[in-house]
Structures are given as structure tokens and as C-alpha cells.
Amino acid sequence: EEVVTEEVVAPQTALKESPKLTVNDFELLKTIGKGSFGKVFEVRMKETGKIYAMKVMNKNQIMERRQYEHTLAERRIMQDISHPFLVCLRYAFQSQTKLYLVMDFFNGGELYHYLSMGRFSEKRALFYAAEISLGIAHLHKHNIVYRDLKPENLLLDPEGHIRITDFGLSKEDVEGDTVRSLCGTPEYLAPEILKKQPYGKCVDWWSLGTLIYEMITGLPPFYDNNRKLMYHKILSAPLQKSPYMSLEAFDLCSKLLEREPTKRLGYGGYEEIQKHPWFKEIDWDALYRKEMEPPYKPSVKSAESTEHIDDEFVLVVPAVTPTPVNAVLTDQNAFENFSYAEGVSH
């Protein structure tokens, strides 16, 4: 599970309120995910018939667990960034007790789902790594550290391209190595986060190294069932070359999994990673335009089919818990300006 201890920051002024959408403008089709503060549903917008993913979060839980700043940051980041390999926000609205984020729906399945069936060919890992690195570089360009790169947060679209999702742990306005909070998922945490040192965007490149290694070999490089032991390995164990890895892939992982952040590949900018010999066959401009053929195309029956989504979610009847009559509501002003509609001026 995720480790999150984040400093609480005073509310920032967010964006203007948007046209009044409500949950009734959407038909709930299926449950497709569950987070710490709510659920994610596949929904159809009644007016247009378009399919989206809708994340529903409980305001009181967000306030109780001090996740207020994370939630608003997620919502701001998703509105401000638009990129072929990132999930985009289409609408945001709220009721008295809940927040709703309506995003693009991608039903090719999570990378986690495919990795659980077995490791990837190096060619497939290379393609995903290249698309992911373009998405992460785009966030970095906007001074956002992503902090949660892992297979569960990587979706495939029906063509087989990557979409990075879940910006709940992302941090905005990061200049240099100035972030201090401990957060992320244990297997993918960079050493400087574990050592509680101030850190910067380079933690995402460490996570990319971990992910590339895991895609090719089947397990993260320093994985251990015992978390304490795993942290110890992240801090000091030598990186083992797997027989499944080419020398170039191992060289790239070694440079991304450099414990000293200033010596890590990517510290001096994303171009350092792009130029690595492992990526020599990638035409980066064609990749950005999605002109490179994905190595695997999910068998997706239709725009709304969910065959690649875990049954543990899909079997849950989709329903938004009604507000109890006697509900004590959090400060309603706390979430003012949360709402948003794409293309509507703010």
C-alpha cells in the first residue's frame, strides 16, 4: 500500500466554478477502480453518449486524512496538462459531500494486469518506457514531480499506447531539490526519499529504472516481501543483471538506479535518457504523434467494454453512496472552485 505523510498546506485559490453538472448527468455503467477516498466508475454522459471514467471522492474523508492539498493539486494538474500519454480531465464538479473528476476512459487494461501474467519482451518494455518517459518529461517541464510511477497507474488505450493516470501524489511548482515529504509506493521509492533528504524531479527517473527492470524481468530490482529489508536493499544492494536483459537495458537501468541523484541519468534533463543507446530505434517525434506501432494491441470489443479491468472491481455494483440525512458536512467553502468543464472559459 502507499506510504503517504504529506505536510498540510493552506488552501490555494483554485479556478472559477463551472456550469452546474451533477452526477445525474451521467449514467453509471461499471465500477472500474477503488482508491483510498472513493471509487472510479465507467460512466456515460447522457447528453452526448460519450464514455468517461469518473472518480468520486468523499469530502469528509479527504479532510480527515489531510489529503486536501493532494486532491486539489490532482485536479489542477489534470486540467493544466494535455499530452498524448497522460490521462486528461474533462469535467470536475461537486455535491455537498462529494467531489467528482470526469476523465478520459481507457479500457486497454492496466500495465499491472499484463505484468501479472508474466514479464514483457524487451522490445515491448522499450516501447512503453519511451512513451512513459515522454509523459513524465512533460510533467517535469511544467515543474511537476509525478512521484507515483508504477504499473497500476499505467493504462493502455485500445490501440496499445500508454496513458499515465492518478496525479493524487504529484507535486507542483518544484524547482530544484526542494521537496521533503515522504510519499509514493515502497518498491518504487528513490533512496533520497527514504533517507528523508530534499529531492526533486529525478525521483521519477529512479522509478522509471525500477519499472523498466520489472517489465523485463518480472519483479522490481530490490523487491522483498519484508518492507524493511526492501528499503535496505534500495539503499545499498548492488543491481543484479538478469539473463533476460540486454547489456544496453541493464546499462540504462544502472544509470537510472544511481543512488546519488546528481549522478543519475535524467538529472541534467530528460534528453540524457532519450540519447541512451537502448532507445536508439525510437523516433521520438513519431512516437509522440503515435505513429509508432504498439507492440501489443488489447482485444477491446467496444469503447465501453471492460474485459481488461479486474473483476474485483467490475463485480461491484456501481453506485454513489447517498448522502446521509444527518451528515455533518465539512467546510463547504474548502472546495469552492473545484468544478471545471473543458473548453469553458474560467
| 335 alpha carbon, distance to own chain's centre | 23
Nearest CA-CA partner of 29 in 321, 318, 320, 322: 318
How far apart CA 27 and CA 262 sit, in angstroms, is 49
Taking the CA atoms of 224, 228, 229 and 235 in sequence, report the sign of the dihedral they define. positive
How far apart CA 93 and CA 341 sit, in angstroms, is 8
Judge whether 104 counts as a catalytic residue: no
Judge contact between 74 and 167, C-beta under 8 A. Answer: yes
Query: Bridge partners of 4?
Result: 183
Q: Which listed residue (148, 157, 166, 204) is catalytic?
A: 148
CA angle 247, 281, 110 (to 5 degrees): 80
Length of the chain: 346
Name every residue whose Cβ is closer than 8 Å to that of residue 230 and which is 6 or more positions away in sequence. Answer: 186, 187, 222, 223, 224
Cell numbers describing residue 39: 471509487
What do you get for the CA distance between the two ends of the chain, in Å?
Answer: 37
Secondary element (H or E) of residue 202? helix 202-217
Provide the annotated active-site residues: 148
